[in-house]
Structure 1
């Protein structure tokens, strides 16, 4: 049975396809959008279409961009001896917000997950390997997430990269600032101890 007008039902159905949005939240969002001015709804629709149509993969680092190469790859001030490998474009933003890393990036667009049918062919591994022949490159930082899939991805990439004579490092994992030791899991504590540094 159709409870709402067909366009409203279709809007709710489309919104419920978004990650983390269930039917109730989709319904609330739909009615919120219907209460907005038409110009706001048009601006939102245009932003979605523009993001879809005008965003592309940088041919160098595979990051999402509106230019090719992206602004990171174009920036001559960046340290070309270091390449940070991340799973997702959002990881690039997180690292950039630290204002402490000034090298280049490579985005894999996921991590190895045999259970979900994601192998090296589904990731941007081939493109990564093609970049490693740069004579300026000295170190590859593996910055995949501290999950089972992220660890497997880092281990796999390290086995591929080390024979090329490049330094391969992994980001440290440990306790968050403000965290309590008593609530940390054993793996996190082990990683924090292994990644300790001299003061």
Structure 2
């Protein structure tokens, strides 16, 4: 029987996605072996995530009301890349080829799971589209949910703005944040007008 504080740590680590009890236990033992300074930094990191919020413009992670990307005047604010989650932004940013801004949906339409358009960050995307908007790039996962969401957004924004999709290269059923940079780069460069 472990001390209660150790048991509590294991239980909290077990709450992380994909972490079973044995893995949580191994992580807890690893944390115990850290120096006091490492433990202190870990605790400070956990405490500091309370500062994180969603950007009121695009929905990206931020420590202020507006994220760094949206507040960057050197970016093209008339080109909006729509992604399913924040991780997708960082996958695209690693390419260092896109200079527009983003919009995070926080998921995709999935009727089987009860995720409908009104549960996603779609109304604020509609509000962002105006006569100055040049292009909406749909950079959604090539899955059934991503395809359904892309078709919905295309119908919703049709006639208001040019809508493009990433080119093939990312296999159907794949995830953007798992694609290697070369594949993602090619998909981004070869994007096409959405029908």
Aligned counterparts of 1:41 and 1:149: Cα–Cα separation in 2 = 40
Does structure 1 conserve the Cα–Cα contact (< 8 Å) formed by 2:10 and 2:24?
yes
Match for residue 126 of structure 1 among 120, 123, 126: 123
Give the 5 Å matches for 1:7-22: 7-22=5-20
Q: Find the counterpart in structure 1 of residue 134 from structure 2.
A: 138
Q: Find the counterpart in structure 2 of residue 71 from structure 1.
A: 68
Aligned counterparts of 2:170 and 2:70: Cα–Cα separation in 1 = 32
Deviation at 1:38, TM superposition (A): 2.5
Aligned counterparts of 1:175 and 1:47: Cα–Cα separation in 2 = 34
Q: Which gives a bigger RCO, structure 1 or 2 (Cα 8 Å, sep 6+)?
A: 2
TM-score (norm 1): 0.82
Q: Find the counterpart in structure 1 of residue 154 from structure 2.
A: 158
Q: Find the counterpart in structure 1 of residue 182 from structure 2.
A: none
TM-score (norm 2): 0.84
Q: Name which one, 1 or 2, has greater alpha-carbon Rg.
A: 1
For structure 2, the 5+ residue unaligned runs are: 172-186
SS in 2 for 1:98: coil
For structure 1, the 5+ residue unaligned runs are: 177-191
1:50 aligned onto 2:51:
no
Aligned counterparts of 1:137 and 1:124: Cα–Cα separation in 2 = 18
Paired residue total: 175
Does structure 1 conserve the Cα–Cα contact (< 8 Å) formed by 2:69 and 2:101?
yes
